[in-house]
Chains A and B, each alone.
Chain A
Amino acid sequence: MYRAQIKSKAKEKIRTFKVGLLGNPNCGKSSVFNYLTGLRQKTGNFPGVTVDKKTGSFQLGSDTQIILTDFPGTYSLYPTSQDERIVAQTFTNPNDPNYSDAIIYIADVTQLEKHLLLFSQLLDLGIPLVLALNMADLAAKRGIRVKREQLEKKLGVPVICISGRTGHHIEKLKERLKSVLDKYFPTINLEKNSTNGKAKNFYTPSEQEEKIIAKVKKILPLQSDYQALLIAHHYHWLSWLNRQQKRQIAAILEQNPFDDLRAQVDETMARYNRLSPLVRKYLAKAGQGKNFTAILDNALTHPWLGPVIFFLIMLFVFQAIFSWAAYPMDWIDSAFAQLNEWLSNSLPANALTDLLIDGIVAGLGGIVIFVPQIAILFFLIGLLEEVGYLARVVYLFDGLMQRFGLGGRSIVALISGGACAIPAIMSTRTISNWKERLITILVTPFISCSARIPVYTALIAFAVPSKKIWWIFDQQGLAFMGLYLIGILAAFGSALVLKHLLKSSENTMLILELPEYRLPVLRNILYHVNAKVKAFVFQAGKIILMISVLLWAMASYGPTGAIEQARREALTLAAQQQLDQQSTDNLIAAKEIEASYAGLLGKSMEPLIKPLGYDWKIGIALVTSFAAREVFVSTMSTIYSIGSDAEPMRLKERMEKDVHPETGQPVYTTATAISLLLFYVLAMQCMSTLVVVRRETGSWKWPALQFVFMTGLAYLVSFGAYQLLS
């Protein structure tokens, strides 16, 4: 009993603080975040937007628990992108769920002057701060020396030199954070007491600004004058203000007119005027060392050599997702096949077992199968990001992509989409302009992914005779390339249309920092990969599993008695024709799928798809393809009772022999095959992609729109092609 008491007492004493991690882009924040939280981190979204919010926790001594939030890299509290707006939105509102009790500010010591701008703004917000000067290892190598103690005294906040790369002084950073928290939130009085020993304001507002601040503070309960000033600047887009509050602020600004942008520039200049002398005084710089960045960029950003190198790198990335991922994907496939076999041998044969094996386990397999592609793509993209190369990609391709309403980074997603749209769409999070990101997400699935290949193989063999034309080129190979080109054309064409249709309030500016090249930190990349895989498996995975179980049920169940009757018919027929066991099973499978709900749906779709040259059999395959495009081949094989694991070429032979029961004409003509090929290039047929699009855009509106315009376009093009050719 005595022990229990101590325990509960200790529990009472544990205090939890929300701490924000802030800094400019490229300040090395994520390295520090990974060091502080280790694997105790999770990724979600900031409210209302799909911008990654990483949170993690760590312990400070025995009595303090820290919930650390990694905010997007930001230059200033005057935001120019969606990412930056999150920071301004959070820190102007003391009631925001992410509002921090204290802030760890990370600044790159090799670029201290500009990294201190945001720091000085945060200082004026009145939130307790710890300033961590990152890249201490790099600074030492370059002969940069910081007079830490003097700087600390001058700024009035703890200053520590750290390295997120080597972990240098991370423990010290924690100690200083604890001392700051102890000072601002004394344990004796658990009430928050943040006015205690507040540092003096860094920026002194003008007379006009003072008047506005006083009036804004009267309507809103704020922690500092600077919050009031920022609200006066940003009130029109701050979503936490209600309509009445916005009207009141607008009225204040009408009485006390101030030039928003002018004031912002004046304030920023005033801050630099104080910061620059400080940096000069407390930072001793030695001569510059050798500059690898300049040498590398001579080649990597060269007007024409740069793009060539980029395509070579992307060729490598593409190769990696396309063929290297095939090995682990095969392992996953066979592991799930073995699991299925084991389950079906050890469980009683009934409907529940069927649901478990063919519905749930198969559905899980369909999710896990994407993991290798996601992991490999994010490993390689993470690597390119860490070394600083992706910023150069933006420089090289911004101009070209801009014409299509896309951003420089979109090209990475589009090329990756050639392997699989899912990781490609997930990779668009680094596009900071929302409109550019949205268009990239919407058009990427037009790029032919690896799942379309088996379908292309089966149908090209059908539609295009294999014949050598010009030297080594085969007609079929050219047709293959043609399909890829159609996909690319559709992607850029629809991007152009969307560019004009979608409205955006965001400024489109490109002023992008090109950071120095750095050696990558493997740990950061692995954490990144881990977060992306988890996001897919556990967040998108849930919905994908539900849909795949539904699709399975549709293909396995039919109206009362229909499946049993189909089975009996098949057995009778097999007995008449004296079929062997294998052929009988195949025939049963064919008759059963025909009688299932999916079969009924395929048949009822026939009038709709007839103008495209398809019959109900293709209709069923289109329905089941929604689980994954390559399922087309196995479904068609099942329907033709040649077994679901038949080779695409056998399917082709079987399809050629199929004739209309009434007219005696072949069911599948070249026109049908071409129409179907075009349909598979253009239609949105992948539920996993739609679920990921939902996750990345935050609403079902966009995947619904994507489904309608892609499938609509596919319908029109296939219709046109079939009518023209038949």
Chain B
Amino acid sequence: MRALTEIREHETASIGYFTDPAVGAKLLSMGILPGYPIVILRKTLQGDTFYIKVGDNRFAIRKKEAACIVLK
């Protein structure tokens, strides 16, 4: 079991579950669901914000929140 913070850029994975319920609830409401393919497209210079793609949609997410996404 790896968190989203542990995979390399451009490596596609599948969302498993969310460890933090508040973050999970927000992710769900934005259509980021378990089972969806997820990929980190790039990171900012300081590496604290990720540019991710889930299905066809793009999101900016902080490292802290990304750590709550556990991959299958």
The answer to whether A513 and B59 have CB atoms under 8 Å apart is yes
The answer to whether A265 and B25 have CB atoms under 8 Å apart is yes
Quick one: which of B24, B29, B32, B33 contacts A76, CB cutoff 8 A?
B29
Chain B residues near A261 (CB-CB < 8 A): 21-22, 24-25
The distance in angstroms between the C-alpha atoms of A262 and B22, with both chains bound, is 9
Residue A114 CB within 8 A of the other chain: yes
The answer to whether B42 and A303 have CB atoms under 8 Å apart is yes
The answer to whether B58 and A268 have CB atoms under 8 Å apart is no
The distance in angstroms between the C-alpha atoms of A268 and B24, with both chains bound, is 11
The answer to whether B31 and A117 have CB atoms under 8 Å apart is yes
Shortest distance in angstroms between A633's beta carbon and chain B's nearest beta carbon? 43
What is the 8 Å Cβ interface bit string for chain B, positions 35-72, against chain A (1 contact, 0 not)? 00000011111101101000011111110010000000
Chain A residues near B26 (CB-CB < 8 A): 80, 509, 511
If the complex has contacts A117-B31, A509-B23, A511-B27, are A111 and B46 also in contact, measured as CB distance less than 8 A?
no
Shortest distance in angstroms between B11's beta carbon and chain A's nearest beta carbon? 17
The distance in angstroms between the C-alpha atoms of A581 and B57, with both chains bound, is 74
What is the 8 Å Cβ interface bit string for chain A, positions 507-529, against chain B (1 contact, 0 not)? 10111111110000000000000
Residue B30 CB within 8 A of the other chain: yes
Residue A301 CB within 8 A of the other chain: yes
The answer to whether B58 and A514 have CB atoms under 8 Å apart is yes
The distance in angstroms between the C-alpha atoms of A229 and B60, with both chains bound, is 31
If the complex has contacts A114-B30, A272-B33, A391-B60, are A511 and B65 also in contact, measured as CB distance less than 8 A?
yes
Question: Which of A269, A307, A509, A515 neighbours the largest number of chain B CB atoms within 10 Å of its CB?
Answer: A509
The answer to whether A265 and B57 have CB atoms under 8 Å apart is no
The answer to whether B33 and A117 have CB atoms under 8 Å apart is no
Question: Which of A396, A399, A516 neighbours the largest number of chain B CB atoms within 10 Å of its CB?
Answer: A399
Residue A113 CB within 8 A of the other chain: yes
Chain A residues near B23 (CB-CB < 8 A): 509, 511
State the majority secondary structure of interface residues on A: helix
The distance in angstroms between the C-alpha atoms of A391 and B58, with both chains bound, is 11
Residue B28 CB within 8 A of the other chain: yes
Question: Which of A304, A307, A391, A511 neighbours the largest number of chain B CB atoms within 10 Å of its CB?
Answer: A511
**Which chain B residue shows the least CB distance to A512?**
B60
The answer to whether A510 and B57 have CB atoms under 8 Å apart is no
Shortest distance in angstroms between B30's beta carbon and chain A's nearest beta carbon? 5
**Which chain B residue shows the least CB distance to A118?**
B29
The distance in angstroms between the C-alpha atoms of A304 and B31, with both chains bound, is 30
Name the interface residues of A271-315: CB closer than 8 Å to any CB of B.
Answer: 272, 288, 293, 297, 301-304, 307
> What's the tally of chain B residues with a CB closer than 8 Å to chain A?
30
The answer to whether B29 and A510 have CB atoms under 8 Å apart is no
Chain A residues near B33 (CB-CB < 8 A): 269, 272
The distance in angstroms between the C-alpha atoms of A509 and B43, with both chains bound, is 17
Quick one: which of B24, B25, B43, B60 contacts A514, CB cutoff 8 A?
B60
If the complex has contacts A395-B49, A511-B27, A513-B30, are A303 and B44 also in contact, measured as CB distance less than 8 A?
yes
Residue A75 CB within 8 A of the other chain: yes
Residue A394 CB within 8 A of the other chain: yes
The answer to whether A264 and B25 have CB atoms under 8 Å apart is yes
Shortest distance in angstroms between A100's beta carbon and chain B's nearest beta carbon? 21
**Which chain A residue shows the least CB distance to B43?**
A303
The answer to whether B31 and A510 have CB atoms under 8 Å apart is no
Shortest distance in angstroms between B24's beta carbon and chain A's nearest beta carbon? 6
Shortest distance in angstroms between B48's beta carbon and chain A's nearest beta carbon? 4
The answer to whether A513 and B58 have CB atoms under 8 Å apart is yes
The answer to whether B29 and A395 have CB atoms under 8 Å apart is no
Shortest distance in angstroms between B45's beta carbon and chain A's nearest beta carbon? 5
The answer to whether A510 and B24 have CB atoms under 8 Å apart is no
Chain B residues near A262 (CB-CB < 8 A): 21
Chain A residues near B57 (CB-CB < 8 A): 111, 114, 513
Quick one: which of B21, B41, B56, B60 contacts A510, CB cutoff 8 A?
B60
Q: Pull 24 A–B residue pairs with CB atoms less than 8 Å apart, ordered by A.
A: A75-B30, A76-B29, A80-B25, A80-B29, A111-B31, A261-B21, A297-B58, A302-B42, A394-B60, A395-B51, A395-B60, A399-B62, A402-B62, A507-B22, A509-B23, A510-B60, A510-B65, A511-B26, A511-B32, A511-B62, A512-B59, A513-B30, A513-B58, A516-B58
Cβ-closest 10 pairs across A and B: A114-B31, A395-B60, A76-B29, A399-B48, A261-B21, A514-B58, A75-B29, A268-B28, A510-B62, A512-B60
7 further contact pairs, Cβ within 8 A, besides A114-B30, A114-B31, A303-B43: A78-B29, A261-B21, A269-B28, A302-B42, A511-B26, A511-B59, A511-B62
